[in-house]
């Protein structure tokens, strides 16, 4: 009976020859399956032993073949495996020895290069030595991976893995031994990678984990800026005959905007909106511009921030109390009776900053009643603020008419205060105070409407001068219609304006700085501004800026939400709260009534939106930002579904995850850190 050994796409099979022709053989395998094999693929014919026995014995023979000795016996020219078998064993080497030689040669490409079906050529001595060294290194790495994986399973983390922690978890090199060790240990222990690394001591602080991960992803070269001298300010600007005041939080150092009111009681008041003017100091393409364009925005977080611009420039340009500061000012003539804007004028000038008002200190006294005159107004700029408040309400009402629905702010904003000394980075262990603050409070409304007025007017003014700018638009208020950025003016349905640019925070956002350059060109060059502006019509650079800004600003906002969520969970632990009252949102999501916290609560999946509930906090994990909660009771006085204002901010109620890039195929070892972000929301415009 005749048998044959053949090559089936790099896999060696053997079986009984049933029939053959000049071109092919019909071979029956041990399984009973019959295959058609081309004559050229048949490598060995034999009569004994049985095919399965031949392969079994051949593998044993292959393991005993000394590759160095076989390489020495091999001829310099091309040769067949059967020829080498007769050289290595003896002239009577049979089918088992020949098949064993074939298997050994095929598995050692670093010694023998394949030259065709069953044919080989031995590699050069230097090639063999280099290949053996590489194999030795590979084996050493594999052994190191085994050691590291064993240590991780045992609760210890090797320093190389600790140093590569964030790369392993979020941007891994899947060929790196550190990554492979974590994957191997995760599979062996049946634990999620992050859980495994925490247990091994690689992650000791939840706060540092979130902070260092953000720095790794967004600031891989660190946050330090080059030491630059305080920039020289233009000394030829006229000083405006007006005193201005700003309204910000006490922690604000980048004071971008201020207000002024002139001519009260004359029938035609002048409302001034004054914006800090770094565009007068930073030249497009300069080193300062490169810094700003790389960072694109200031990063905010409780107790700390990473500024877009160097401190020296911020200090030179910020609208600090008691200084005469360069500004781009928009003066709006307002009919005091109708509160209708009748005339707009933009100037480049210096303005005297009389006061830096702080809303966290004044919100309690600058109330509707005080501004309307029914209570004594005992605070600076009372008359100007009263007029600005009347104007803000009128501007808001006009926008709501265009929007087709009112803006309502049923959710409060929240302020985070860390109890610590010094101005360095927080450690994450500080006590935190969280204070609610009503959105749409009088001072908030004054600033918001003033900035909307300026951004809307300047967007249209730039378009009239045929000067390109960066705009934000929203086609409609229909669900799912997002705010877009582009270079052409278009209506912003959420704001209720014909066009909307960002130009009122040039110390904090690069887009605003770009638009301020364009505004300055319009002031200085008038009808020829399109030729003199830094960015010309159809300039693709603006599209590049928009793309970079969208991605970076989104990452910054996500980090701010996550780090605020960390401090919220820290507050819960600090105050040892085990229960919370909340409102049901959807699909088991609930929002805490007195905290910026959205999370899932078991038992709330089928409750109507707006249902008031009390939930038990079962577990809190600041590392994954998870809150595990369960329904305790449903209150009978279920509230109506909360109304959310369609502003320029997205509704932050969609759950987010701690996305790990590490790939662990075993489902039992794959992390599942489904969480929801906090709902801290900034002003609609600034």
Q: What is the pLDDT of residues 115-158, one digit of tens each?
A: 888 899 989 888 888 888 888 888 999 999 999 999 999 999 99
**Inside any domain, residue 625:** yes
Q: Per-residue confidence at 408, pLDDT binned at 50, 70, 90? A: confident
pLDDT at site 195 = 87
Cα 216 to Cα 210: distance, rounded to the nearest angstrom: 10
Indicate whether 119 and 136 sit together in one domain: no
Band of residue 661 on the pLDDT scale cut at 50, 70, 90: low
Which pLDDT belongs to residue 276? Answer: 96
pLDDT recorded at residue 672: 35
Same domain, 551 and 575: no
**196 and 297, same structural domain?**
no
Supply the mean pLDDT for the chain. Answer: 88
Q: Which of 277-291, 332-346, 397-411 has the lowest mean pLDDT?
A: 397-411
For residues 160 and 164, what is the distance between their CA atoms, to the nearest angstrom? Answer: 6
pLDDT of residue 563: 94
**Domain co-membership, 146 together with 109:** no
Report pLDDT for 643.
Answer: 40
Burial class for 273, CB neighbours closer than 10 Å (0-12, 13-18, 19+):
buried
Q: What total of structural domains would you count in the chain?
A: 4
Would 222 be classed as within a structural domain?
no
Q: Is residue 552 part of a domain?
A: yes
Residue 249 banded pLDDT, cuts 50, 70, 90: confident
Confidence band for 664, pLDDT divided at 50, 70 and 90: low
Note the pLDDT of residue 457: 97
* DSSP state letter for 494: T
Q: Which of 72-76, 115-119, 545-549, 641-645 has the highest mean pLDDT?
A: 545-549
Residue ending a domain, among 90, 123, 156, is 123
Q: Are 452 and 395 in contact (CB under 8 A)?
A: yes
Q: Are residues 484 and 393 in the same domain?
A: yes
Q: Measured at the alpha carbon of residue 654, what is the angle toward residues 653 and 655, in degrees to the nearest 5?
A: 115
> Of 43-57, 406-420, 512-526, 621-635, where does mean pLDDT reach its minimum?
406-420
118 and 132 together in one domain: no
221 in a domain, yes or no? no
Place of tokens 């420039």: 313
Domain assignment of residue 220, yes or no: no
- Tell me the pTM: 0.77
**pLDDT score, position 659:** 58
Banded pLDDT at 648 (limits 50, 70, 90): very low
pLDDT top residue among 663 and 647: 663
Asked whether residue 640 is assigned to any structural domain, the reply reads yes
Q: Is pLDDT of 677 > 60?
A: no
The pLDDT, as a whole number, for residue 458 is 97
Among the ranges given (181-195, 214-228, 403-417), the one the predictor scored with the smallest mean pLDDT: 403-417
142 to each of 109, 169, 414, how far by Cα in Å? 20, 20, 51
pLDDT band, very low/low/confident/very high, at 583 (cuts 50, 70, 90): very high
Give the residue numbers spanning the domain of 66: 3-123
Dihedral sign of CA atoms 573, 576, 579, 583 in order: negative
For residues 443 and 368, give the distance between their C-alpha atoms in angstroms, rounded to a whole number. 10
User: Which pLDDT score is estimated for 514?
Assistant: 97
Q: Is the peptide bond before 43 cis (omega within 30 degrees of 0)?
A: no
19, pLDDT greater than 90: yes
State the residue for tokens 């495994």. 196
Tell me: the pLDDT tens digits for 347-396?
A: 999 999 999 999 888 888 888 888 888 787 888 999 999 999 999 999 99
Q: Which of 358, 361, 389, 394 is nearest to 373 (CA)?
A: 389
Residue 53 has a pLDDT of 94
pLDDT at 631: 94
Edge-to-edge, what's the strand order for the sheet holding 119-122? 79-80, 119-122, 112-116
Taking the C-alpha atoms of residue 642 and residue 362, their distance in angstroms, rounded to an integer, is 28
pLDDT one-digit tens code per residue, 429-483 = 899 999 887 777 899 999 999 999 999 999 999 999 999 999 999 998 888 889 9
| Same-domain pairing of 284 and 415 | yes
pLDDT at 134: 85
**58, 99 Cβ separation under 8 angstroms:** yes
Q: What 3-state DSSP class applies to 252?
A: coil
- Whole-number Å distance between alpha carbons of 18 and 32: 12
Alpha-carbon distance of 558 to 552, in angstroms, equals 10
Asked if residues 411 and 439 have their Cβ atoms less than 8 Å apart, the reply is yes
- 139 in the same domain as 117: no
Residue 615 near residue 604 (C-beta atoms within 8 A): yes
Dmax (CA) of the chain: 121
**CA–CA separation, 474 and 318 (whole Å):** 31
Q: Is the CB of residue 191 less than 8 Å from the CB of residue 178?
A: no
Residue 656: is it exposed, middle or buried by C-beta count within 10 angstroms (0-12/13-18/19+)?
middle
Residue 11 pairs in a beta bridge with: 8
Instruction: Please provide residue 612's backbone torsions phi and psi, each rounded to the nearest 5 degrees.
Output: -90, 135
Do 548 and 505 share a structural domain? yes
Q: Whose structure tokens read 């262990």?
A: 429
The C-alpha atoms of residue 40 and residue 100 are separated, in whole angstroms, by 20
Both 342 and 395 in one domain: the answer is yes
CA dist., res. 242 & res. 133, Å (int): 79
Predicted local distance difference test score (pLDDT) of residue 230: 75
How confident is the model at residue 666, as a pLDDT?
35
Take residue 557 and report the two structure tokens written for it: 């906002």
210 falls within a domain: no
* pLDDT of 34 strictly over 90: yes
Pair 245, 260: CB distance under 8 Å: yes
Among the listed ranges 213-227, 292-306, 557-571, which one has the minimum average pLDDT value? 213-227
Which residues pair with residue 80 across a beta bridge?
A: 119
Question: How confident is the model at residue 652, as a pLDDT?
Answer: 41
Q: Is residue 228 part of a domain?
A: no
Angle between helices 540-574 and 206-218 (to 10 degrees): 180
User: CB burial class (10 A; 0-12, 13-18, 19+) of residue 255?
Assistant: buried
Q: Are residues 467 and 364 in the same domain?
A: yes
pLDDT digits (tens, 9 = 90+) for 310-322: 988 999 999 999 9
For helices 540-574 and 287-295, angle between their N-to-C axes, nearest 10 degrees:
50
Residue 645 has pLDDT above 60, yes or no: no
Residues 38 and 143 in one domain: no
């Amino acid at each position: 009976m005749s048998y044959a050994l053949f090559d089936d796409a790099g896999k060696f099979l053997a079986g009984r020859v049933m029939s053959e022709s000049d071109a092919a053989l019909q071979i029956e395998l041990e399984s009973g399956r019959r295959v058609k094999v081309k004559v050229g693929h048949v490598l060995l014919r034999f009569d004994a032993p049985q095919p399965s026995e031949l392969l079994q014995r051949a593998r044993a023979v292959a393991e005993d073949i000394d590759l160095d000795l076989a390489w020495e016996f091999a001829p310099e020219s091309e040769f067949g495996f059967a020829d080498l078998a007769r050289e290595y064993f003896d002239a009577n080497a049979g089918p088992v020895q020949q098949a064993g030689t074939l298997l050994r040669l095929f598995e050692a490409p670093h010694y023998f290069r394949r030259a065709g079906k069953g044919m080989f050529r031995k590699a050069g001595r230097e090639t063999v030595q280099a290949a053996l060294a590489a194999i030795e290194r590979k084996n050493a790495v594999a052994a190191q991976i085994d050691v590291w994986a064993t240590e991780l399973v045992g609760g210890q983390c090797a320093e190389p893995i600790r140093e590569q922690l964030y790369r392993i978890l979020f941007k891994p090199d899947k060929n790196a031994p550190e990554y492979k060790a974590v994957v191997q240990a995760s599979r062996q222990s049946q634990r999620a990678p992050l859980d495994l690394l925490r247990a091994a001591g690689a992650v000791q602080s939840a706060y540092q984990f979130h902070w260092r991960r953000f720095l790794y992803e967004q600031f891989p070269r660190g946050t330090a800026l080059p030491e630059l001298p305080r920039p020289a300010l233009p000394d030829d600007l006229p000083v405006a005959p007006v005193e201005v005041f700003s309204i910000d939080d006490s922690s604000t150092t980048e004071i971008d905007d201020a207000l002024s009111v002139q001519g009260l009681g004359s029938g035609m008041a002048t409302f001034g909106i004054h914006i800090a003017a770094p565009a007068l100091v930073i030249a497009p393409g300069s080193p300062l511009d490169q810094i700003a364009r790389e960072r694109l925005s200031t990063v905010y977080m409780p107790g700390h921030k990473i500024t877009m611009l160097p401190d020296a420039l911020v200090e030179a340009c910020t609208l600090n109390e008691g200084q005469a500061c360069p500004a781009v000012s928009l003066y709006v003539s307002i009919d005091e009776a109708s509160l209708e804007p009748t005339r707009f004028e933009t100037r480049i000038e210096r303005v005297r900053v009389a006061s830096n008002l702080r809303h966290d200190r004044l919100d309690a006294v600058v109330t509707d009643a005080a501004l309307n005159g029914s209570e004594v107004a005992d605070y600076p700029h009372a008359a100007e603020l009263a007029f600005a408040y009347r104007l803000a309400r009128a501007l808001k009402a006009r926008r709501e008419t265009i929007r087709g629905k009112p803006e309502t702010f049923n959710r409060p904003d929240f302020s985070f205060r860390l109890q610590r000394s010094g101005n360095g980075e927080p450690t994450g262990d500080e006590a935190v105070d969280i204070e609610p603050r009503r959105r749409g409070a009088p001072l908030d409304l004054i600033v918001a409407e003033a900035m909307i007025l300026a951004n809307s007017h300047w967007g249209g003014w730039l378009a009239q001068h045929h000067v390109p700018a960066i705009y934000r638009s929203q086609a409609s208020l229909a669900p799912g219609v997002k705010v877009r950025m582009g270079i052409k003016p278009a209506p912003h349905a959420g704001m209720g304006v014909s066009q909307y640019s960002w130009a009122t925070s040039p110390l904090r956002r690069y887009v605003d700085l770009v638009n301020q350059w364009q505004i300055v060109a319009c002031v200085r060059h008038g009808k020829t501004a399109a030729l003199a502006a830094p960015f010309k019509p159809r300039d693709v650079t603006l599209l590049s800026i928009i793309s970079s800004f969208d991605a970076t600003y989104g990452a910054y906002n996500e980090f701010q939400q996550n780090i605020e969520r960390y401090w919220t969970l820290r507050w819960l632990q600090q105050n040892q709260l085990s229960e919370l009252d909340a409102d049901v949102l959807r699909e088991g999501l609930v929002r805490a009534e007195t905290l910026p916290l959205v999370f899932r609560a078991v038992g709330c999946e089928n409750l109507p939106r707006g249902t008031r509930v009390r939930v038990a906090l079962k577990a809190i994990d600041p590392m994954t930002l998870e809150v595990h909660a369960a329904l305790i009771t449903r209150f009978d006085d279920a509230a109506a579904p909360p109304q959310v204002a369609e502003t320029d901010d997205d509704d932050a109620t969609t759950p987010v995850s701690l996305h790990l890039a590490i790939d662990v195929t075993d489902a039992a070892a794959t992390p599942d850190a489904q969480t929801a972000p906090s709902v801290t929301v900034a002003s609609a415009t600034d």
